[in-house]
Every structure is written in structure tokens, then in C-alpha cells.
Amino acid sequence: MSPHLDAVRVERVWVAGGVVRIAACTRELTVACPDCGRGSARVHSRYCRTLADVAVGGRPVLIGLSVRRLFCDSAGCGRRTFAEQVAGLTARYQRRSPLLQHLVEMAGVLLAGRGGARLLHILEAPLSRTSVLFHLMRLPLPSPAVPRVLGVDDFALYADVYGTLLVDATTRLPIELWAGRDAEQLAAWLRTHPGVEVVCRDGSLVYRQGITDGAPDALQVSDRFHLWQGLSKRIGDIAAAHRGCLPSAAPQPEPAPPPTTSTGPSDQADTPARRHAKRLFEAVHAVTDTGCSLSAAARELRLNRRTVGKYARATTWQDCVRRTRSRRTTSLD
């Protein structure tokens, strides 16, 4: 328990069912009204609040705190009564101490739902994963700092509808997102967030105008992606405009060497495929030249009948070697 000791009086501490229970009440002190700030000690009534605190000795802690409801005696204040809060122990509409609530929130931030629930169960503050996520979603988002290097780009929402995305180029985290590609909207954002020194953008004239109006001292640069994109588009445009000049500028192909004719012994079977084809050709012709049928030769050689027919019809074994197709010339060549 971590309240201010001068605001709370502990009356009883006991253990029941493995839970440390503390009975306490607030002291008769003057408390400021949350609206007008005027102090008051006039009691309207009392009621008991049950608060969970961090575990002690491996046992969960429950605090039964009796608090006062006070009158606000300020004539100009619209609040007639208010409940007192103990700094460091209570918060409005909260059934956990600020220390335990901070523990729940950090478990959700670091471990999310299932992992945070397991950790809180070990710390004797059991919560379901959905409750951990609920407290995580309640946390306010931290206000992003104004980046020194800002990235601006558009993206397609659907069809021809576009949006604008602002990114911190240093941390690569998104900062702002809105629909449309409006120069005035970008300029207004830059005016309300001074301190941007460099802006990375594409070649859009809209963004250039918005940056010039909103941050005239910022240096405008293009990122690597848009540089390559613009360069490739420009090269494509130039190539399309001078398409008729490309054939004349291309170097003349060298004349093909005359084909070499095979002369039997000089054309040796110098690869495994060629040697295999030569052996099959000789074996097939050794059988079929004796007048044996193709089916009988196929059974004797244990080959497919089509394979035997191919080798039997060939005049030389070179005709049975698979030849690679010559590459056809393309428009790119």
C-alpha cells in the first residue's frame, strides 16, 4: 500500500483465505474540490471502497477504505458534493491502486494479452487476456515528437481515391494520415508542427507547393525509391520516343561461321549422351539388319518399340542426338 500516511489511518490488518485484508479510513482533513479547487471539510456522508493493491509476500492485497463525500461550499461552483481521493492510493472509478494499475498497463504494453495475463497471474493479480487488452487500449497514445526528417507520400485507398501519409524518416514510424492530396492541408500541418528540416517526397507538384508554403526553410529531397522510379520512367519515355532510331544504332551482328560437316571419324562421341546414342544405334541395327521385326527387337533389347523404330530408321547415330534449338532474335536484341 502506497498512500500518503497523513491522509489514511489503518485500523486493522488480517489474512483470510490467503488474501491480506486491510481496513482503513481517511482522516478528517480539508480536501480541495475537483472543479473550483476550494477546500472543504464538511462531510456529506461516508462509503467504503474496495481497492486491490500489489501482492505482499505472494498474497494478494485488498484494501477496504472508508472515504468521505464532502460538500462544496463555493457559491459559484456547480458541483454540490464530491468524493475525496487519496493521492497514491485511489483514482476516480478505479478499483485498483495506481501502482497495481500501472503494473497491469505495463504488462499489456510489453506482453500483450496472453503473455500479460500469465505474468499477472504469477504476480497474484489475475486478469483475463481480454481485460489486459482492454486496459491496453485505454492507454492514451503518446504525442509524437516533430521529426527532423519528414517523409510525405500518397497511397491509393481504392480506385482513384488517394490519401496522404506522413512518416518520421528517422524512426520509420507513421505520424499522420488523411484522405486526399491537398497542398493546403500539408502546409497547415507543417505550420502547426515547426521544426521539420528535411522533407522527403515524390515528384508531385502538389506536395512541393504544400511544403514550400508550410515550411519554406525545409530542404526538399527525393527518396531512393522515387529517384529510381522517376529514372526508369524517363528512360522508358526516351526509348519509346526514339524507337525508330534504335535498329540503326545497334551494332551489326557478326557473320555466323560456316557449319562444319561431320566426316565420320572426326565427329567423335565426346559426351555421355552422344556415346549412349551411338551404342543404341549400333545395337538396334545389329538386330534389325538381320530381318528381325521392330517388336521382336524391342523385346530382345528391352527397349520401347518407338525408341527402336527411331534408331532403326536413322541412317547415322548423329541423327538420333537431340539438338538444342537456336535462340530466336527478339525486338530487344
Tens-digit pLDDT profile for residues 210-245: 999 999 999 999 888 888 988 998 999 998 888 888
Q: What is the mean pLDDT of residues 5-18?
A: 89
How many CB atoms within 10 Å of residue 260? Answer: 8
Query: Average pLDDT for residues 147-168, to the nearest whole number?
Result: 89
Of the candidates 217, 214, 218, the one whose C-alpha atom is nearest the C-alpha of residue 149 is 218
Residue boundaries of the structural domains of the chain: 1-95, 97-141, 149-228, 269-320
Supply φ then ψ for residue 172, to 5 degrees: 60, 30
The strand pairing partners of 81, in sequence order, are 71
Mean pLDDT (the chain, rounded): 87
* DSSP 8-state secondary structure symbol assigned to residue 218: S
Nine-digit cell at 211? 511544403
State the fold for domain 149-228.
Nucleotidyltransferase; domain 5 (3.30.420)
Given pLDDT bands bounded at 50, 70 and 90, which one contains residue 1? Answer: very low
- For residue 18, which of 48, 59, 46 has the smallest C-alpha distance? 59
Query: Of 203, 129, 196, 139, whose CA–CA distance to 168 is shortest?
Result: 196
Which tens digits make up the pLDDT trace of 231-282?
998 999 998 888 888 777 777 777 766 665 554 444 454 788 888 888 888 8
What's the pLDDT at 256? 66
**How confident is the model over 73-98, as pLDDT tens digits?**
998 898 999 999 999 899 999 999 99
How many other C-beta atoms lie within 10 A of the C-beta of residue 309?
17
Position 69 scores a pLDDT of 95
> What is the pLDDT, as a whole number, of residue 252?
73
pLDDT value at 192 more than 50: yes
User: How high is the pLDDT of residue 47?
Assistant: 95
What pLDDT is recorded for position 130? 95
Burial class of 253 by CB neighbour count within 10 A (0 to 12, 13 to 18, 19+): exposed
Instruction: Judge whether 42 and 70 are in contact, CB under 8 Å.
Output: yes
